[in-house]
């Protein structure tokens, strides 16, 4: 599902809201998550999962085109861990 499909699905489930209002809510939701992660925080949605960041250490990489070694700096990357309810839904038989 892509962002526009999410907005469309939410608009159909909430006919009292205009599509522009639904889009504003989705944008606000994603912005709040991104801002919290950027500040080093964590976002937990009970039953769904938790968003956090992880540190990646600096390392020596290789340019696949030339084979030349390059230094890759350390960085923070987003990480998602599914909650128990989500894992149970995914593995229901």
pLDDT-derived band at 93, boundaries 50, 70, 90: confident
Average pLDDT across the chain, whole number: 95
**Which class for 50: exposed (0-12), middle (13-18), buried (19 or more C-beta within 10 A)?**
middle
In angstroms, the CA 3 to CA 15 distance is 18
CA distance 68 to 35: 36
Rounded-to-10 torsion of CA 91, 5, 35, 33? -30
- The answer to whether 52 and 76 have CB atoms below 8 angstroms apart is no
Write the pLDDT tens digit of every residue in 18-59.
999 999 999 999 999 999 999 999 999 999 999 999 999 999
What's the pLDDT at 62? 96
């Amino acid at each position: 599902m892509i962002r526009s499909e999410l907005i469309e699905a939410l608009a159909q489930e909430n006919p009292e809201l205009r599509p522009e209002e639904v889009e504003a809510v989705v944008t606000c939701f994603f912005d709040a998550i991104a801002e919290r992660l950027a500040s080093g925080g964590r976002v937990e949605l009970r039953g769904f999962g938790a968003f956090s960041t992880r540190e990646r250490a600096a390392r020596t990489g290789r340019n696949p085109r030339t084979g030349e070694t390059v230094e890759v700096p350390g960085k923070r990357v987003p990480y998602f861990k599914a909650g128990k309810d989500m894992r149970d839904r995914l593995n229901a038989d």
